[in-house]
Structure 1
Amino acid sequence: MMRKHVLFSTLSMALLQGARAKLCFMLYQMADNNLEYYIRQDYQELSSSAFVRSTDAKTWVYHDAYGGQPLPSTVDSVGRSIPGNSGSSYVTYDHSLGRMRLDTTLSGEQNSDTEAAVLNFLTHAMTDCLANGYDSLMAVFSSHGGGFAGYGGDENVRARHRSLLQPNRQVASAIRGALSSVSGAPDKLDVIGFDACLMQALGAADDYMDVAQYMLASEAVEPGHGWAYAYWTSASDSVSLAGQVVSTYLSQTQGGGHQSPKVLSLISFEAYSTFVAQLEGFAAVLLERIQTDQTLHAFVSRARASTVAFEGIVDTVGTHQPSAMDIGSFLNAFAQMCNPSESSDLGSALTALRTAYSDMMVAHGVGPGTAAGTGMHVTWPPQGEYQRNRALWDTILFTNRHYATNSAPNFQAFLEYFLSAATPGSSAGDSVCQVAAQPAGQPVNPSELLSRPEANIESTKVTLTAHMAPRVDQVVVEYAVDLSSPLKPFLEDRGYIPSDIEYLYLKGGDVRGSYQGNTFEAEWNRDFYFLNITGQSKFEAIYVQDQGDGSKAVPVMYFPESQREAASAMQFLDFLFFDFEFWVEQGARYGFLTFSVDQTTGEVDNNLILFTSDVGGTAFAEKSRSDGGLIIPLIYVHAFIQDRKIDTLPGGFNQTIIEWREDLDYHVIARKADVIFDVIPSTDAVVATMYGFDFGESDSALEAEFFDIIRPDRGGFADIDIATDSSSGMLKTLFALGVAAIFCVLHL
């Protein structure tokens, strides 16, 4: 169901009720990029908040602008409005004026992604704060975030669109330098915070543990509105304010409705050290055992496949398993699946690790429509994604000193083995897991990955169940419309001879499932989704990913205003032979729309927001409608036509290009599978597909079972041989022309 929750530990309550102090709040706003629109909003919210007016707080802001507009609600030392400036400024709240006051304008265009820029600002702000008795130090960094890859993304005029992130070690070094150079400064900040995407990560926290007592950040991408600054009230110290940040961020809609994903946590670095030590102990045992224990290997794979995960900066849009894997979710899933004995070395290590992880979380929570993350992620790509781009992942995970999680070498060693190794042979009954991967009486043919799936078809839902071989790493379920019959007469009309193996399926999305022992089960509510724009004749079937807990994502390509003319001029063949690399070079970006579905009522919450990978084509951030631009939805198909395999249709069957504007209303509409036959009578069937993956064996990496959900005048399963030719050819045009004609009437 739709939910919002905030959890505060006993430690946090004690801290929030502790001795009063005066708070020095230092906000580093790196707005010299495509986030300026949102960061200026944050500045306005902060300047009007009750918090900034509190005499218990001293506020300092570093603001590096992009467009050069005057800072809102800001004056000079005598109360006059200040002119616009595309450079960098130090601003403070002046209690005597009751306004934000410009303190310093830095000369020349600053590159805010340098250690010197961070060091100079923090030194300036700390010196003033400590001299005036504000000794509870909290530094917050607001801009793009990439987790292990760092923070920032300054597009200064000397290198506009350079879009590099500042490494975490460099930011930490600047903090350390300021603390050591300012008279009276403590050894560490009380709180370091990131109003940025993905920063509550194992691969980022390890760089900051020596410069702060606590860390406040999101493990997922953040909606552009960021933290709810306007709702902050007085706070006597940094930890008290951090508690307010968590609760207000999750509870306030900040414009019309809750956007997703919303997840935020405050961790204790003292407890983090214990957590890392326990992680290292667990990883060492796991690595030793998994090399010979087939059952254990299966449950690690399946726990990873079922774990809550968020889009990381290296992920391919549309992946079934993003790489920012929630740690607590994995530990819970693995404990349930494997259930190692408490008396075993793995069982005791797992228990200690789960306890340490929980103790580390001072406060955390998720908002409505967000998958139930537990507070921190680690970069752990699915095995299939790793193998498709092994050189890149090896650099990120194991060899790059800025990216690799060097504080956890045992975990790194386990991950490197697991991602690259094949499933071990039989455990011969001596598995450390107390749950068998394949219980007696439910055998799977040794040559197969999945047993014959069973489908329990009801009027409101379909439950799909299959048994897995022990070597199965992951199972994916997708639903689709079978349009093979409408395709064949189209080919005949154009002089081609259809063969019996040709087929065409329009995919509607995927469904998350659950793993129990050797059984996989997924439940589909029979809904297909369509994107409608009020007042326009845009109505397109979309592919929707199920991210869990009502959270949904739609893969798209985004074209900025600078590419409007070129994108609008695309012709039919440009869609069919869509050159992704070319358009990315021209400024287009991969992205995804997010929305949510109330799991109690099934109603769609049309809180659509667009995330794009605008920073170097990597870090995801919300794209404001005020930026304009165009969207092309990425529609996935399963088709084999005239010896050609086709899997993606940018723009769908109608070559849809969608305006991204403030004055348009976007709605996702759900329609039951039964409606498809009323709209397209020649439709063959609504089907579901269950894919089993064994990433350790290249010759059996994929196995699929197709089966009918609805097929007029025909029941049971539909067995279809899967064509494997991945080449493309001119005949892509043929099926698209025909299906475009079929789907042009799909205005439900």
Structure 2
Amino acid sequence: MRRRLAGPIVACLLAAGCSAGPIPDDAPQGWTVLVYSIADTDLEPFLLTDLGELGEVGTSDDVAISALADRAAGYTDEPALGLGDWEGGKVLRYTDAGVEVVEELGEVNTGDPDVLRRFVADGLAAHPAQNTAVILTDHGAAWSGVGGDESAGSDVLTLAEMRDAVAGGLADAGVEKLDLLGFDACLMATYETASAFTGVADRMLASQELEPGHGWDYRVLQVLADDPATTVDALGGALIDGFDAQAKEEGTGADITLSLVDLTRMPAVEEAMTAFGGALTERVATLAPVVGAQRASTLGFGRSPDPVEDTHMADLGILAAQIGVEALDVADEADALVRALNDAVVDRVAGQAVRGATGLSIYFPPQAEYFDAAYADVPGAGPWTRFLQGFYGAGDALPADRRPRFLGDPDASFDADGLTLVGAVDPAAAAAVSEAVITYGLVDDDGGTTFLGEEPATVDDDGQVVGVYDLTQLTISDGVDTAQAYLTLTDAGDGVSSIDVPMAYYAPGAQEYQDVLLTITVDGATGDVLDETYYAYDEVLGTFGELTADPAGIIVPEVLAVGADGEQTWTATTDVGLYADLPALRYDLAPLPSGSTLYAGLTVTDFGGGTDTAATTVTVP
């Protein structure tokens, strides 16, 4: 029979700071799993599915599963777990007979760290076990935190709040540390997160990239019911495999990441990171051009065509490895960091579009104007913040004669590949170039330009910049209407490309729209769409989360329009919107009409954020 706490003890645990005494040595060898489900957001429909998956797992005296589920108003009125529809929070305990409501919380703020602390303390003390796991699920925003409880002004749990809450709950229940801390949320597999929870848990399971709405497959927890002696690494591996399998089934497998991090090895990673960051800071004046170029080519997560909305999270392993190859002065420190990271990341999965992901990312805005000053308050971020400030300072101090400038207009030519644009920057300043792109658009009758897209260009050591454009425009059709769209193309490697399309989404009957990014992952060899997902931007969190778009809602693709006076606006491409039914959308790269006047430009950006553009207008043959 399941152990239950007497009323006075429960009341004690619901007061932060109360101690229930240590978990006894003869506690069952099984598992206690606690799921903190912040469903008071637009992810509610997905999280209700997760709660249902938990209900399919067998429980016993050796395996206990509890959840705190806080539902929102207005997203779905679907019943769940045989409990009907409800608003507010409930603490649930899963049993072989179904789900038991342990407590009605009412309108609770799941962004309050005391609520998390009390849930952890109560859940662990209610079922003492040798193995423990806490999983937080909702929106994630890397170092900024998790959540956004809409009943409490979108209150977010910061890293520091979560660390203190979980650590406090462990202390209250007399548990030294967790076996597994999980984040079924976007972007949480970061150096900052792992560093913050070192000493709080042995393992961390989290994603570097934006997660699809379906998240993890919680039916995988059946491995615990089948074998309560399952190790934490075996559980982490099973959750990774389950997530991978479900993503493939749902058609979202191309962009997923999930990594299992051994937090007991994080002190070695932190030591290597401090040495690496210190070496970069000492040599930042000379290494900044190399760092800037490698940052621009490093795999990023939570990307956006608008740098203000980009999360600026870069893969730490790739970044360190590339810098180590290009900057021999810090090669030893870079190699040591890569080895420490490889030791700490004990298991992982990455889809085709992010295949090179190494398991942990780090915050690295390419320019100072995008750096969030709140980052300096993140636990353990001091050394990296000092490097970033030094890097930005080096960019500001870059002399005018070392800032890349084009030497005249670009040369344009047409061939079977489309338009090739070739420009030249002063070779003496070419080393400062971090990034080069080709942009293109149709010239309007009034002299303005409607831009159609942006793609990477190349720049060599001699300062030659080359961009190629295939003379097509992306169109999207819902089967009734068709609209042109703006695309940002990223080469993901292995013949896979990622296309980001900015849009406005109108829910049925709504007059206001949400900024939405449609991300399409394409197999370049076959043209097959591997994945397509809407992501909505959350201004409070400063990141994207999957949008549950109503098929009857309307999407309107947006393009960048630049007037003859130079004013830039993102504007709708058509007066007619498209239905937001994602599976029904069809994409085409339609050839530009012959005779169209085309603007094409090459833009280089130096590591200090300075830019220069060489452009021309041509007539499409």
TM-score, L = length of structure 2: 0.84
Equivalent of 1:507 in 451, 457, 473: 451
Q: Secondary structure at the match of 2:214?
A: coil
TM-superposed deviation, 1:590: 2.3
Equivalent of 1:682 in 588, 595, 610: 595
Q: Which residue of 2 aligns with 1:619?
A: 543
Q: Greater strand share, 1 or 2?
A: 2
Do the aligned partners of 2:403 and 2:432 also contact (CA within 8 Å) in 1?
A: no
Q: Secondary structure at the match of 1:278?
A: helix
Say how many residue pairs are matched: 580
Q: Which residue of 2 aligns with 1:544?
A: 488
**Is structure 2 residue 403 aligned with structure 1 residue 414?**
no
Q: Secondary structure at the match of 1:82?
A: coil
Q: Which amino acid aligns with 1:422?
A: G
Structure 2 Cα separation of the partners of residues 622 and 123 of structure 1: 31
Equivalent of 1:348 in 332, 343, 355: 332
**Is structure 2 residue 482 aligned with structure 1 residue 476?**
no
Equivalent of 1:459 in 416, 420, 423: 416
Q: Which residue of 2 aligns with 1:211?
A: 200
Do the aligned partners of 1:298 and 1:470 also contact (CA within 8 Å) in 2?
A: no
Q: Which residue of 1 aligns with 2:521?
A: 596
Q: Secondary structure at the match of 2:603?
A: strand
Equivalent of 2:116 in 115, 118, 124: 118
TM-superposed deviation, 1:241: 1.6
Q: Which residue of 2 aligns with 1:58?
A: 64
Q: Which residue of 2 aligns with 1:327?
A: 316
Do the aligned partners of 1:257 and 1:607 also contact (CA within 8 Å) in 2?
A: yes
Structure 2 Cα separation of the partners of residues 334 and 514 of structure 1: 19
Q: Which amino acid aligns with 1:26?
A: L
Q: Which residue of 1 aligns with 2:470?
A: 526
Q: Which residue of 2 aligns with 1:669?
A: 588
- Identify if the C-alpha distance between structure 1 residues 524 and 362 changes in structure 2 by more than 3 Å, giving closer, same or farther: farther
Q: Which runs of 5+ in 1 are unaligned?
A: 1-19, 75-80, 427-443, 492-502, 568-587, 713-748
Do the aligned partners of 1:190 and 1:212 also contact (CA within 8 Å) in 2?
A: yes
1:411-442 residue CA offsets vs partner (Å, 9 max, x unmatched): 2111012123336679xxxxxxxxxxxxxxxx
Q: Secondary structure at the match of 1:253?
A: helix
Structure 2 Cα separation of the partners of residues 629 and 173 of structure 1: 41
- Identify if the C-alpha distance between structure 1 residues 322 and 120 changes in structure 2 by more than 3 Å, giving closer, same or farther: closer
Q: Secondary structure at the match of 2:34?
A: strand
TM-superposed deviation, 1:247: 2.2
Structure 2 Cα separation of the partners of residues 394 and 618 of structure 1: 10
- Identify if the C-alpha distance between structure 1 residues 448 and 688 changes in structure 2 by more than 3 Å, giving closer, same or farther: same
TM-superposed deviation, 1:127: 1.7
- Identify if the C-alpha distance between structure 1 residues 297 and 318 changes in structure 2 by more than 3 Å, giving closer, same or farther: closer
Q: Which runs of 5+ in 2 are unaligned?
A: 1-27, 225-229
1:323-351 residue CA offsets vs partner (Å, 9 max, x unmatched): 1111122123223333x0xxx5x222122
Q: Which amino acid aligns with 2:515?
A: Y
Q: Which residue of 2 aligns with 1:109?
A: 107
Structure 1 Cα separation of the partners of residues 403 and 185 of structure 2: 47
Structure 1 Cα separation of the partners of residues 196 and 309 of structure 2: 30
Q: Which amino acid aligns with 1:682?
A: G
- Identify if the C-alpha distance between structure 1 residues 362 and 446 changes in structure 2 by more than 3 Å, giving closer, same or farther: closer
- Identify if the C-alpha distance between structure 1 residues 510 and 105 changes in structure 2 by more than 3 Å, giving closer, same or farther: same
Q: Which amino acid aligns with 1:670?
A: L
**Is structure 2 residue 402 aligned with structure 1 residue 449?**
no
Q: Secondary structure at the match of 2:516?
A: strand
TM-superposed deviation, 1:119: 1.8
Structure 2 Cα separation of the partners of residues 425 and 54 of structure 1: 65
Q: Which residue of 1 aligns with 2:568?
A: 647
- Identify if the C-alpha distance between structure 1 residues 39 and 326 changes in structure 2 by more than 3 Å, giving closer, same or farther: same
1:365-394 residue CA offsets vs partner (Å, 9 max, x unmatched): 2113346332222111121xx33x5xxx35
Equivalent of 2:256 in 262, 268, 271: 262
- Identify if the C-alpha distance between structure 1 residues 278 and 42 changes in structure 2 by more than 3 Å, giving closer, same or farther: same
Q: Which residue of 1 aligns with 2:503?
A: 556
Q: Which amino acid aligns with 1:33?
A: T
Do the aligned partners of 2:133 and 2:178 also contact (CA within 8 Å) in 1?
A: yes
Structure 2 Cα separation of the partners of residues 22 and 120 of structure 1: 22
Structure 2 Cα separation of the partners of residues 694 and 552 of structure 1: 24
Q: Secondary structure at the match of 1:92?
A: strand
Q: Which residue of 2 aligns with 1:577?
A: none
- Identify if the C-alpha distance between structure 1 residues 529 and 25 changes in structure 2 by more than 3 Å, giving closer, same or farther: farther
- Identify if the C-alpha distance between structure 1 residues 517 and 192 changes in structure 2 by more than 3 Å, giving closer, same or farther: farther
TM-superposed deviation, 1:482: 4.0
Structure 1 Cα separation of the partners of residues 458 and 234 of structure 2: 39
Q: Which residue of 2 aligns with 1:249?
A: 243
Structure 2 Cα separation of the partners of residues 318 and 561 of structure 1: 29
**Is structure 2 residue 301 aligned with structure 1 residue 310?**
yes
TM-superposed deviation, 1:513: 4.8
Q: Which amino acid aligns with 2:144?
A: A
- Identify if the C-alpha distance between structure 1 residues 590 and 600 changes in structure 2 by more than 3 Å, giving closer, same or farther: same
Do the aligned partners of 2:87 and 2:106 also contact (CA within 8 Å) in 1?
A: no
Structure 2 Cα separation of the partners of residues 320 and 710 of structure 1: 34
Structure 2 Cα separation of the partners of residues 518 and 703 of structure 1: 17
Do the aligned partners of 2:144 and 2:541 also contact (CA within 8 Å) in 1?
A: no
- Identify if the C-alpha distance between structure 1 residues 446 and 349 changes in structure 2 by more than 3 Å, giving closer, same or farther: closer
- Identify if the C-alpha distance between structure 1 residues 129 and 515 changes in structure 2 by more than 3 Å, giving closer, same or farther: farther
Q: Which amino acid aligns with 1:282?
A: F
Structure 2 Cα separation of the partners of residues 424 and 415 of structure 1: 14
Structure 2 Cα separation of the partners of residues 63 and 357 of structure 1: 34
1:87-146 residue CA offsets vs partner (Å, 9 max, x unmatched): 222222313x2x3x123132432111112211222222212331xxx3211110011112
Please identify, of 162-171 and 607-616, the stretch whose mean Cα deviation from structure 2 is larger: 607-616
Structure 1 Cα separation of the partners of residues 403 and 540 of structure 2: 44
How high is the sequence identity, in percent, across the aligned residues? 21
Structure 1 Cα separation of the partners of residues 351 and 468 of structure 2: 24
Structure 2 Cα separation of the partners of residues 463 and 47 of structure 1: 58
Structure 1 Cα separation of the partners of residues 297 and 45 of structure 2: 36
TM-superposed deviation, 1:471: 5.6
Do the aligned partners of 1:31 and 1:66 also contact (CA within 8 Å) in 2?
A: yes
Structure 2 Cα separation of the partners of residues 138 and 172 of structure 1: 14
TM-score, L = length of structure 1: 0.70
Structure 2 Cα separation of the partners of residues 594 and 470 of structure 1: 32
- Identify if the C-alpha distance between structure 1 residues 153 and 448 changes in structure 2 by more than 3 Å, giving closer, same or farther: closer
- Identify if the C-alpha distance between structure 1 residues 46 and 26 changes in structure 2 by more than 3 Å, giving closer, same or farther: same
Q: Secondary structure at the match of 2:48?
A: helix
Q: Which residue of 2 aligns with 1:13?
A: none
**What RMSD, in angstroms, separates the aligned Cα atoms of the two structures?**
3.3
Do the aligned partners of 2:277 and 2:387 also contact (CA within 8 Å) in 1?
A: yes
**Is structure 2 residue 369 aligned with structure 1 residue 378?**
no
TM-superposed deviation, 1:524: 4.6
Do the aligned partners of 1:371 and 1:547 also contact (CA within 8 Å) in 2?
A: no
**Is structure 2 residue 289 aligned with structure 1 residue 298?**
yes
Do the aligned partners of 2:294 and 2:434 also contact (CA within 8 Å) in 1?
A: no
Q: Secondary structure at the match of 2:586?
A: strand
Structure 2 Cα separation of the partners of residues 454 and 326 of structure 1: 36
1:524-573 residue CA offsets vs partner (Å, 9 max, x unmatched): 572634343333123323333426342221112333446x2x35xxxxxx
Q: Which residue of 2 aligns with 1:223?
A: 212
Q: Which amino acid aligns with 1:704?
A: T
Q: Which amino acid aligns with 2:519?
A: T
